[in-house]
Structure 1
């Protein structure tokens, strides 16, 4: 019986060990699950390394515990499925790995060639086309400048400003019209300029300046015609003969100018005295439906038509700035011209305004210098005071303009 006791004790101890080992394993598994849950709650994308460190520490503790008790558990043991954050991190890591590509290595003894670019022929043609267009535009601009310089319009403008007093608006407008028209030789209509205003304000003097300038530029009288109605076609002459002679002169000048590629200038003074039949004939040259040579011409019409209306309007608006009302003067003069004849419908109206007393003094000074007199200021003031003036608001405007200046100077003694 004594021999049976050790056997019974050994079997009891073995039974006890077989019961304790599964319980310990279950306790370890439960602790492991609890620790893993805590680590999953603390998991973050930025803190992935810390979560991995905690996981590795748990696995080390589990392995050490199993080794102590003699239970060999697997190295990776987890009942939970991987979370979405872990999946995203693993995918991101794979993508980064995929982006890395191996460098292309060329043989040491080989030549490196770049890909051949096939140039389009259409692109070359387009560049050539743009070059031709730019060259043509530049050439046209240079031709325009050369054509204007040929007529020396800057010198003409300075001459008008020096010799025609008190008509700055008229000078600027005439200069602009001539520059625009003379910039090229080919036109679709002739240029018609009508100078209108009271007597003695410088219209006829302006016509003489234009005729003298264009004669000197052309170096010939063949392309400038000055036509005075009272001289070339007086009231007692045959109107039919006047029409024939004038038509022949215009045709001959236009033909010669076309052969030499020049623009003729026709200056008609005293238009208010021209007979209606002659006005009808002249109006025919202003039309568009005619030969090309008749379209390249400049007609300057000088008359006193509308002068009374300009005087009345100017005296009524003497307080206002005349520079701001040129359109009103233009409409007033054009209304008066249409009542006379319809040829002025195609004309550019250039109003000439009244002259002040200071302008009359300049006229006397210029005439005295021409005649060789000493320009004495007291003598000039005395001569200017002999004329009649409109006096409005401390301003004096000459009634006859500079019309009587020449006769007053001619009556002076040569030695006074």
Structure 2
């Protein structure tokens, strides 16, 4: 059956390319009847045309990730370094002991979704459009609490099926749309896939990446950044050790967080809690300039400055940090240009 499928796939390619029309009838019969030889060719042609789980479609670019983080992620020196080292170390490890589990934390618009995108773009040729990248949004995929048991089963089957198809898969749980209010126990059902197991029911999850995006801990991260600002210290002096311990505790103790309902943390299944700092006026300007360039517009500093000044900043007395970060920059620029 496989040989027949591959044979006719090649034949279709030849016909659509105009090659078969140039053959004599006897040659055409030979092409169709080539069997096993054409089956091998068919597989190669199919894998060339359609995304497959191989090195043509999946190849980690460490330098590309580093450059992308430097040029596209603004104001996040801590997160950039953690992400670069964590992903590079994991992807270069030929025999990881567990999947890579990243938990990204911070206020909206600080770059968490962007980081997920940059990781995908530097692993998969198709980036976020890759069939190996799977994103879950609570309100879309798990809207009804009465269906919790069904959701658990579907989620487990979905993850198992996709990892079976391609071990090098990424699963993104987008908290922006409500995972902080996710049904208790839903994420807990995938806990076995995140652990130190050779395989579960014959499937190994050790090459997969799981990314959780959350606003939880944003207040603590902001307090640290504000403390540095009031002390007259440079923002770039903030280190991971200034943020990570208290961040992990704030997530663990936050009963509104979906992660609180799980034992992911007390089982040490999260490899890195990655803090995203609140963005200042200067970072919003950088986002604006980058957005104009991405839209094919000539960057205009005056336009960007006006847009950035009109955004809302907090705390009310100091007005240091952008309330929405860079989240609405694209639509705002449409108004100002």
Q: TM-score, normalised by structure 2?
A: 0.70
| 8 Å Cα contact 1:390-1:398 kept in structure 2 | yes
Aligned length: 262
Matched, 1:296 2:207: yes
Q: Which residue of 1 aligns with 2:170?
A: 265
**CA distance 1:208–1:234, change in 2 (3 Å):** farther
Between the aligned partners of 2:220 and 2:127, the Cα distance in structure 1 is: 37
5 Å matches for 1:320-359? 320-322=233-235, 323-339=237-253, 340=260, 341-344=262-265, 345-347=268-270, 348-359=272-283
How far apart are 1:306 and its partner, in Å?
0.6
Deviation by residue 1:11-39 (Cα, 9 ceiling, x = unmatched): xxxxxxxxxxxxxxxxxxxxxxxxxxxxx
Secondary structure of the corresponding residue to residue 210 of structure 2? strand
Are residues 168 and 409 of structure 1, via their aligned partners in 2, closer, same or farther at CA, if it must alter by over 3 Å?
same
1:254 Cα deviation from its structure 2 partner: 1.4
Query: What is the distance in 2 between the residues matched to 1:152 and 1:328?
Result: 30
Counting only pairs closer than 5 Å after superposition, residues 192-341 of structure 1 correspond to structure 2 as: 192-216=101-125, 221-235=130-144, 238-258=147-167, 263-270=168-175, 271-289=179-197, 291=199, 293-318=204-229, 319=231, 320-322=233-235, 323-339=237-253, 340=260, 341=262
Alignment of 1:186-197 (within 5 A): 186-197=95-106
Question: 3-state SS of the aligned residue for 2:320?
Answer: strand
Given the alignment of the two structures, is residue 365 of structure 1 paired with residue 289 of structure 2, yes or no?
yes
Once the two structures are superposed, residues 137-163 of structure 1 have per-residue CA deviations (whole angstroms, 9 ceiling, x without a partner) of xxxxxxxxx9xx941121122112211
Alignment map for 1:32-51 (pairs within 5 Å): none
Q: 2: distance between equivalents of 1:219 and 1:266?
A: 11
In the TM superposition, structure 1's runs of 4+ consecutive aligned residues that sit over 4 Å from their partners are: 217-220, 391-395
- Contact 2:60–2:124 (CA under 8 A) maintained in structure 1: no
- Specify which structure has the higher proportion of helix: 1
The answer to whether the 8 A contact 1:330-1:349 is kept is yes
Aligned partner of 1:17 in structure 2 is none
SS of 2:172's equivalent?
Answer: strand
Gaps of 5+ in 2: 1-54, 254-259
- 3-state SS in 2 of match to 1:300: strand
RMSD: 2.7
Q: Write the distance in 1 (CA, Å) between the matches of 2:221 and 2:126.
A: 34
How far apart are the structure 1 equivalents of 2:319 and 2:129?
A: 45
Structure whose alpha-carbon radius of gyration is higher: 1
Alignment correspondent of 2:33: none
CA 1:314–1:220: 2 relative to 1, 3 Å: closer
Say which of 388, 391, 398 aligns to 2:312: 388
Deviation at 1:355, TM superposition (A): 1.1
Structure 1 residues not aligned, in runs of 5+ = 1-145
